[in-house]
Amino acid sequence: MEPEVYIDGCLYPKSKAKISVYDHGLLYGDGIFEGIRVYSGRIFRFKEHIDRLYESAKAIRLRIPLSREELEQAVVDTVKANGMKDAYIRLVVTRGAGDLGIDPKKCSVGSVIIIVDKIKLYDEKLYQQGIAIITASTRRISPDMISQRVKSLNYLNSITAKMEADLAGVPESLMLNADGYVCECSADNIFIVRHGELLTPSPEFPILLGITRAVVMGIAAKKGLSVRELPLTLCDVYVADECFLTGTGAELIPVISVDGREIGNGKPGPVAGMLLEEFRTLRNSEGASLFD
């Protein structure tokens, strides 16, 4: 049975789910989205994701054509309609159909799309073995151009960096800003462990303030780890004792080499292992199941 996709109030089988070719989300990447996980029938950090969606919409003056309560209910109903207790939700709001110019005023009403399906970015063995990454030559777009805090449909900056990873035969690439400071990977936030401290790029750098990033920082603090946000260089990453990435799709994945340089002893470290275990315990128990 194929997934049911919500589009503007109606459910369609995946093979029949369509939008207008004049939708500015398609033509110009004019829209926003959230990736959300369902674990054991529970939508993980639902409030935080919806908060960020509405903040992104406000930042680009995009009117979501549903109230918050209506949107949340539409997501819940779509999850239930698909009957998946473990799933990935892609919640998309586009500017809607307009003409062939870029003027958003020509789009009469935004369009809401909710996809509920499976996702698997990494084989489970890689969470035990770790992954290699490279540094992309593609630099993160400066926040005085487009803010990375807006989770927009225009992902070409990240896609270009991901292509570099593909060409290098690794699953992910690290992106720097114009001054050479570490920002994030093409689709994940980055952390390092150095002398017992958990370090990650600070918010003033062009990074997405990831939901999983915040959860992991909270877990680390409760476990008594020192957690600091600060400017990081490639040298800091190269000499780190541990390195790992976080994201809604990736969860928490250890990194064992960067640009061919071994991180720590070349194996996933104890801090990453502990945080991954704690994260998975939390994700499976937080909140009530939609299917109870």
For the segment 43-87, what is each residue's pLDDT rounded down to a tens digit? 999 999 999 999 999 999 999 999 999 999 999 999 999 999 999
CB 227 within 8 A of CB 161: no
Confidence (pLDDT) at 198? 98
- CA–CA–CA angle 24, 82, 211 (5° rounding): 60
The distance from CA 101 to its chain's CA centroid, rounded to whole angstroms, is: 30
CATH code for 124-283? 3.20.10.10
* In the chain, domain spans: 4-117, 124-283
Q: Give the pair of three-digit tokens for residue 261.
A: 């340089």
Q: Which of 237, 217, 2, 212 is nearest to 115 (CA)?
A: 2
CATH code for 4-117? 3.30.470.10
- CA–CA–CA angle 193, 194, 199 (5° rounding): 55
* Residues with pLDDT less than 50, the chain: none
Confidence (pLDDT) at 286? 86
Which residues have a catalytic role annotated? 151
Q: Which residue has the tokens 């957690």?
A: 227
CB 30 within 8 A of CB 155: no
* Domains 4-117 and 124-283 in one fold: no
Q: Give the pair of three-digit tokens for residue 272.
A: 């990453």
